[in-house]
Amino acid sequence: MIHFVILISRQGKVRLTKWYSPYQQKERSTVIRELSGLILSRGPKLCNFVEWKGYKVVYRRYASLYFCMCIDPDDNELEILEIIHHFVEILDRYFGSVCELDLIFNFHKAYYILDEILIAGELQESSKKAVARLIAAQDSLVETAKEEAGSISNMISQAI
Amino acid sequence: MEQLKTIGRELAMGSQGGGWTGQSKEFLDLVKSIGEARSKAEEDRIILREIDSLRRRIAEPDVPRRRMKEYIIRLVYAEMLGHDASFGYIHAVKMTHDDSLSLKRTGYLAVTLFLSDDHDLIILIVNTIQKDLRSDNYLIVCTALTAACKLINEETIPAVLPQVVDLLAHPKEAVRKKAVMALHRFYQRSPASVSHLISNFRKRLCDNDPGVMGATLFPLFDLITADVNSYKDLVISFVSILKQVAERRLPKAYDYHQMPAPFIQIKLLKILALLGSGDKQASGHIYNVLGDIFRKCESSSNIGNAVLYECICCVSSIYPNAKVLDAAAESTSKFLKSDSHNLKYMGIDALGRLIKINPDIAEEHQLAVIDCLEDPDDTLKRKTFELLYKMTKSTNVEVIVDRMIDYMISINDNHYKTEIASRCVELAEQFAPSNQWFIQTMNKVFEHAGDLLNVRVAHNLMRLIAEGFGEDDEGADSQLRSSAVNSYLRILGEPKLPSLFLQVICWVLGEYGTADGKYSASYIIGKLCDVTEAHLCNDTVKAYSISAIMKICAFEITAGRNVEMLPECQSLIDELSASHSTDLQQRAYELQALLCLDSQAVESVMPLDASCEDIEFDGNLSFLNSFVQQSIEKGARPYIPESERSGTFSVSNYNSQYQHEASSHTLRFEAYELPKPSPTPATPQISVSTRTTDLVPVPETTYYYTENNQASKLPPVSDASSADHGIKLHLDGVQKKWGRPTYSSSSSSTSSEKKTNGVTRIDGVSSPSRGTLYDSKGQQSEVSAEKQKLAASLFGASAGKTEKKLASTQRAPKATTATAERPGVTRAVSPEISKQKAASSPPPDLLDLGEPITTTTPTIDPFEQLEGLIGPTPGPSTLDNSVTTSEQKAPDLMTLYTDTPPSSNSSISSALGDIHSSDKNSQMAKNVPSIKKGPNPQDSLQKDATARHVGVTPTGNNPNLFRDLLG
């Protein structure tokens, strides 16, 4: 089971956090501090895994962004590495050549996507197409709602 | 009207922006200022200000809904950065009630991020979730199910369970899938609540949609883990599903990097491993499909290796079969021979699993394992120690434990230090070849990790010293004790020792310090007094020390010798009798009292070497019977129990129960204090019983971390240990074999041998000796013989085999020496080139080659060219500086795929990919053809333009903001 997902930049800035196991706000800060110290200092050729307090943290670096997932000691690290990649590929498809800035400004969208990939710390959908379809369906519904709102506000502004 | 206008403006802004729609300028500014914050403190200040303003504005009446949505997102942002936004939770909860999907979704998202499942506000959401689960719109149902997974706790499960079960038959597969996941979550929360629904999972396994089927594997995995036998009938179904998946019968959409549904395969393999464990019949069904997967799986991709690794796990778990075991061993050796650290790590793990079935498999990989052990990567090293721990036998325990202790001394991570220390203790207790070695090993462990160990370990050690190793040989036991005493007296010279270790030392010195007559009582007492003056000494150690002094004195008195009271001992007694701790006071007074007794009384109070004798408690105080009888005869009133006195209950068995309770109560009470021996009557038996408090753990200080101590203690400790090796340890031959000096001299051979194993390792050590590689052959074989010896002592390989290996390893360096003269940069790559191996080197190597290309470009301002492409945008030319700095920094930031799996033809494409992705902008200027899927330039340009429009620029702080994550 995945206990949490953290995205941190090379400077140690938090870009996204999602906790599947209960952690208090204080614990969260400690975890992030400890892990960023541990992971950001690792050289490029070393393992993408870190053993940490009886758990394992699998991380993968994309440009200047680190995707980290904390898992149980008996989970398959290589699989988690690919789950991270799966997530990034879906982000990439959604945003169109995703970059760190997309995630910074649209972190809530990244959350929606993550929610379609992982539920309760498990991979719920391994088909990119299925995820993309669902997200698109949700977005289109939001879009139509927005258009409606837009036309109303137009009418109002015309009335004024 | 004003508000409506702002909505209009926001909407207008949202529609024109290319990438970041829907957010107000304020929010963009906030994110921007966070991005530009130079320190955590500055970031905190910005967020605190933001929280302040949000707190004010969110509470205003009639906040428009869309604006509220943004506030909520801003709260999520603040919370994500580690600040408390609890004042806004209720607004997020309110937002989930909204009719619009967009707002509802935001509300649910915020609530799932804010609240844990035991939060008070959950009860307000359950109703909404119930309502949404019944919605006609499947998207709303999906959102509600996602939220239910996070928010529904044990108490609220019954409220939503019927609806979730109904959704298992929903026409939309996305809903069915999420319903399954939700039920799985409910099962994790409270297995009993869904126990009647297990048949549903079985049914969903046959769902038409692979996504639903895949999701069903999670609850089934948990159920099977809990109770294997009820699901044996499913083995055949699982095997046939796995077979179909492996044969690519699933829709193409489930393929991942050309692998057919690997994530489903992995989960199925995990389930089969459980079902086949120790079951010959079930395993019989599995062998075939495992063989197929081993054959089909590509080991060139990361995901292929993930599946292979899971196959190995499955093979090691089910009933052994020679054929699949061979396949597993072969895959394992591929992992171990790989260049990638990740694969080596997996290989070591796999090896650890396989040797449980067939220990001989390890033999082939001796050198690879030793390379991993010496690897600079801590993760790999620890995994290797885990493997060694698993394969420890009485023949190799000395080597392995010594290595573990050396590593333990070198690390700072207290968590792992504790783990490795307790492993050392466990191995030493289990396999110790000699008493002396055992004592030495324990000394080292205690010296360096004493504060991290469980007190039980210390008590165990004392017990072992007292009881010996169970052999009836008294001579060996007393030898063990005197060697312990000798080493402890020596160790006491160290400036700092962990308190737990001091306790052991005090106890042993007290019991056996004078036993062999080598040391005089006053010498030992002097040492014990010194202990109490050491500044790390706490009350517990003082208590141990004063008790030890008491024992020594008692033994002296028993032997009829005169005890001369040393001045420091007298001052210690004086100090302790005035101590704040009643326990210490008591011990001090007891000692004083003991000194006044005659030798016979003393002997019955403190019999010699009686720590192992069982002490029988006489709860009824029967030895007082005669005294009581006497008193009654003299006319004293008989004792009436308290209950009878008060007249409420007179049942005698209640009485005893009451007494029992009372005694247990006092015990519990004392656990929080230092143990206080029960008030001592002058009768011998009872005062003997106080002696047992020596062995009773005094404060409950299991696993306490004193980081400061640890950190400050390290340097002297390592010095001390190296000094110790010479004086203290008489490990015949072992230390010489493993002593530090050999590391430096072996560098040339290690590097050459590494290559034979397909390992490239860059360490500064090997480069200086490179020049002497030709003439160092003689030395080399000698040193590699050293390594062979390590292998032999670890694995117990036969001499013939190692010699064969030696011959083969010597051949390799010749090939590499030809390329060795090249300048330093290409050094890492050269072995690969020279070998012309199919496996390419990992990209970072190629990056080194690519470096000159990328660093020559930045003379042209990429942004100018960009602007030309998009058309006129208000581009500030002040950017130039920051951009060039980003260019200079680029080379070391370029490792996009630090872990690209080696594949036969990826070396070129990944090299190009790296150059290509090194900077999107300069790439445009150079017109490097894009080979891979790559970024869509138009897209990125658009994005850059928008970013700059809102005022975000890649500063020197983070030049990579625009960089594609997937280059």
Is A22 in Cβ contact with B117 (below 8 Å)? yes
In a domain, B537, yes or no: yes
Q: B895 CB near a chain A CB, below 8 Å?
A: yes
pLDDT per residue as tens digits for the range B823-876: 444 344 444 444 444 344 333 333 333 333 333 334 444 444 444 444 444 444
Is B341 in Cβ contact with A96 (below 8 Å)? no
Give B798's DSSP letter.
-
pLDDT per residue as tens digits for the range A68-111: 999 999 899 999 999 999 999 999 999 988 888 888 888 989 99
Class of domain A2-159: alpha beta
Is A96 in Cβ contact with B82 (below 8 Å)? no
Strands A65-71 and A55-62: antiparallel
User: What pLDDT, on a 0 to 100 scale, did the predictor assign at position B315?
Assistant: 92
Distant-in-sequence, close-in-space partners of B809: CB < 8 Å, separation ≥ 6? B367, B752, B753, B756, B784
User: What pLDDT, on a 0 to 100 scale, did the predictor assign at position B33?
Assistant: 87
The span from the CA of B272 to the CA of B314, in Å, is: 7
CB B765 within 8 A of CB B747: yes
Distance (Å) from the alpha carbon of B91 to chain A's nearest alpha carbon = 17
Q: A137 CB near a chain B CB, below 8 Å?
A: yes
The span from the CA of B27 to the CA of B71, in Å, is: 9
Distance (Å) from the alpha carbon of B403 to chain A's nearest alpha carbon = 19
Which of A120-129, B188-197, B685-694 bottoms out in mean pLDDT, i.e. has the lowest?
A: B685-694
A104, two tokens: 């910074």
Give B402's DSSP letter.
H
User: What pLDDT, on a 0 to 100 scale, did the predictor assign at position B948?
Assistant: 67
Is A99 in Cβ contact with B962 (below 8 Å)? yes
Is B181 in Cβ contact with A119 (below 8 Å)? yes
pLDDT per residue as tens digits for the range B61-81: 888 888 888 899 999 999 998
Residues of chain B found within 8 Å of residue A64, distances taken between Cβ atoms: 893, 958-961, 963
Q: Which of B597, B590, B592 is nearest to B686 (CA)?
A: B590
CB B55 within 8 A of CB B85: no
Is A14 in Cβ contact with B80 (below 8 Å)? yes
Residue whose structure tokens are 């150059």? B915
User: What pLDDT, on a 0 to 100 scale, did the predictor assign at position A30?
Assistant: 92
Instruction: Kindly give the residue spans of alpha helices, DSSP state H, lying in A41-122.
Output: 77-95, 100-105, 107-117
Mean pLDDT to the nearest integer, B257-278: 91
Distant-in-sequence, close-in-space partners of B839: CB < 8 Å, separation ≥ 6? B338, B339, B758, B832, B902, B904
The number of residues in chain B equals 967
Residue B902 has pLDDT above 60, yes or no: no
The span from the CA of A50 to the CA of A59, in Å, is: 8
pLDDT per residue as tens digits for the range B502-519: 888 888 888 888 777 778
The span from the CA of B704 to the CA of B817, in Å, is: 52
The span from the CA of B448 to the CA of B625, in Å, is: 52
In a domain, B199, yes or no: no
Is A46 in Cβ contact with B116 (below 8 Å)? no
Residue B696 has pLDDT above 60, yes or no: no
Residues of chain A found within 8 Å of residue B961, distances taken between Cβ atoms: 64, 99-101, 104
Distant-in-sequence, close-in-space partners of B774: CB < 8 Å, separation ≥ 6? B817
The span from the CA of A108 to the CA of B107, in Å, is: 11
Q: B948 CB near a chain A CB, below 8 Å?
A: no
Domain that holds residue B499: 480-605
B889, two tokens: 């920094």
Q: Which of B20, B215, B958 sits opposite A105 (nearest CB)?
A: B20
Residues of chain A found within 8 Å of residue B377, distances taken between Cβ atoms: 43, 46-47
CB B264 within 8 A of CB B252: no
pLDDT per residue as tens digits for the range B162-182: 999 999 999 999 999 999 999
Q: Which of B98, B159, B95 is nearest to B123 (CA)?
A: B159
pLDDT per residue as tens digits for the range B920-962: 444 444 443 434 444 566 776 777 677 666 666 655 556 667 7
- The domain segmentation of chain A, as residue ranges, is 2-159
- Which residue numbers in chain A have pLDDT < 70? 143, 145-160
B893, two tokens: 């930031």
Is B936 in Cβ contact with A130 (below 8 Å)? no
User: What pLDDT, on a 0 to 100 scale, did the predictor assign at position B682?
Assistant: 45
pLDDT band at B915 (very low <50, low <70, confident <90, very high): very low
The number of residues in chain A equals 160
A19: enclosing H helix or E strand: strand A14-19
Q: Which of B516, B596, B485 is nearest to B550 (CA)?
A: B596
Gyration radius of chain B over CA positions: 36
B51, two tokens: 């929280």
User: What pLDDT, on a 0 to 100 scale, did the predictor assign at position B309?
Assistant: 93
The span from the CA of B503 to the CA of B500, in Å, is: 5
The span from the CA of B884 to the CA of B959, in Å, is: 10
In terms of average pLDDT, the best of B152-166, B455-469, B765-779, B895-909 is B152-166
Q: How many CB atoms lie within 10 A of CB B626?
A: 9
Is B960 in Cβ contact with A126 (below 8 Å)? no
Q: Which of A60, A107, A125 sits opposite B77 (nearest CB)?
A: A107
Distance (Å) from the alpha carbon of B373 to chain A's nearest alpha carbon = 14
Q: A92 CB near a chain B CB, below 8 Å?
A: yes
Strands A14-19 and A55-62: unpaired
In a domain, B528, yes or no: yes
The contacts found for B400-405 with CB under 8 angstroms, 24 or more apart, are B400/B427, B400/B794, B401/B427, B401/B428, B401/B441, B402/B731, B402/B734, B402/B735, B402/B738, B403/B373, B403/B738, B405/B441, B405/B444, B405/B445, B405/B448
The span from the CA of A89 to the CA of A103, in Å, is: 13
Q: Which of A17, A97, A122 sits opposite B80 (nearest CB)?
A: A17
Is A92 in Cβ contact with B898 (below 8 Å)? no
Residue B877 has pLDDT above 70, yes or no: no
pLDDT band at B732 (very low <50, low <70, confident <90, very high): very low
User: What pLDDT, on a 0 to 100 scale, did the predictor assign at position B964?
Assistant: 77
Residue B706 has pLDDT above 60, yes or no: no
The type of residue at B772 is: T
Q: Which of B4, B28, B100 sits opposite A153 (nearest CB)?
A: B4
What's the domain count of chain B?
Answer: 1
User: What pLDDT, on a 0 to 100 scale, did the predictor assign at position B610?
Assistant: 66
CB B824 within 8 A of CB B767: yes
Interface of B with A in 16-55 (CB under 8 A): 19-20, 23, 28, 31, 34-35, 43
Distance (Å) from the alpha carbon of B506 to chain A's nearest alpha carbon = 33
pLDDT per residue as tens digits for the range B350-380: 999 998 888 888 888 888 888 888 888 888 9
The span from the CA of B523 to the CA of B223, in Å, is: 65
Q: Which of A49, A85, A125 sits opposite B379 (nearest CB)?
A: A49
Is B214 in Cβ contact with A105 (below 8 Å)? no
B213, two tokens: 């089927």
User: What pLDDT, on a 0 to 100 scale, did the predictor assign at position B869?
Assistant: 41
In the three-class reduction of DSSP (H, G, I as helix; E, B as strand; rest coil), residue B592 is classed as: helix
Q: Which of B942, B945, B893, B948 is nearest to B918 (CA)?
A: B893
User: What pLDDT, on a 0 to 100 scale, did the predictor assign at position A89?
Assistant: 93
Is B8 in Cβ contact with A97 (below 8 Å)? no
The span from the CA of B86 to the CA of B58, in Å, is: 12
Q: Which of A47, A100, A122 sits opposite B380 (nearest CB)?
A: A47
Cβ-Cβ contacts under 8 Å between A and B: the total is 269
The span from the CA of B593 to the CA of B610, in Å, is: 21
Distance (Å) from the alpha carbon of B696 to chain A's nearest alpha carbon = 30
Distant-in-sequence, close-in-space partners of B538: CB < 8 Å, separation ≥ 6? B499
Mean pLDDT to the nearest integer, B622-646: 82
pLDDT band at B574 (very low <50, low <70, confident <90, very high): confident
The span from the CA of A94 to the CA of A100, in Å, is: 14
**Secondary structure in 3-state letters for B351-382:** HHHHCCCCCCHHHHCHHHHHHHHCCCCHHHHH
In a domain, B573, yes or no: yes
Which ipTM was obtained for this model?
A: 0.92
User: What pLDDT, on a 0 to 100 scale, did the predictor assign at position A153?
Assistant: 65
Q: How far is CA B959 from the centre of its chain?
A: 33
The span from the CA of B113 to the CA of B120, in Å, is: 15
Residue B117 has pLDDT above 60, yes or no: yes
User: What pLDDT, on a 0 to 100 scale, did the predictor assign at position B1?
Assistant: 45
Residue B310 has pLDDT above 90, yes or no: yes
Q: A150 CB near a chain B CB, below 8 Å?
A: yes
Residue B776 has pLDDT above 70, yes or no: no
Q: B896 CB near a chain A CB, below 8 Å?
A: yes
Which of B14-18, B304-308, B604-608 bottoms out in mean pLDDT, i.e. has the lowest?
A: B14-18
Task: Return mean pLDDT, chain B.
Answer: 72
Mean pLDDT to the nearest integer, B626-650: 77
Distant-in-sequence, close-in-space partners of B793: CB < 8 Å, separation ≥ 6? B395, B396, B399, B737
Residue B447 has pLDDT above 70, yes or no: yes
State the first-to-last Cα distance of chain A, in angstroms, to the nearest integer: 57
CB B231 within 8 A of CB B224: yes
> Least CA distance to A89: which residue of chain B?
B966
The span from the CA of B666 to the CA of A59, in Å, is: 52
Q: Which of B38, B263, B935 is nearest to A62 (CA)?
A: B935
CB B882 within 8 A of CB B954: yes
| Phi, psi angles (nearest 5°) of residue B643 | -60, -40
User: What pLDDT, on a 0 to 100 scale, did the predictor assign at position B5?
Assistant: 41
Q: How far is CA B523 from the centre of its chain?
A: 45
In a domain, B579, yes or no: yes
The span from the CA of B651 to the CA of B635, in Å, is: 26
User: What pLDDT, on a 0 to 100 scale, did the predictor assign at position B377?
Assistant: 87
Instruction: Give the Å distances, CA to CA, from B539 to A136, B585, B675.
Output: 67, 11, 11
The span from the CA of B827 to the CA of B840, in Å, is: 15
The span from the CA of B160 to the CA of B172, in Å, is: 19
Q: Which of A107, A101, A112, A15 is nearest to B940 (CA)?
A: A101
State the first-to-last Cα distance of chain B, in angstroms, to the nearest integer: 47
> Least CA distance to B382: which residue of chain A?
A51
Residue B317 has pLDDT above 80, yes or no: yes
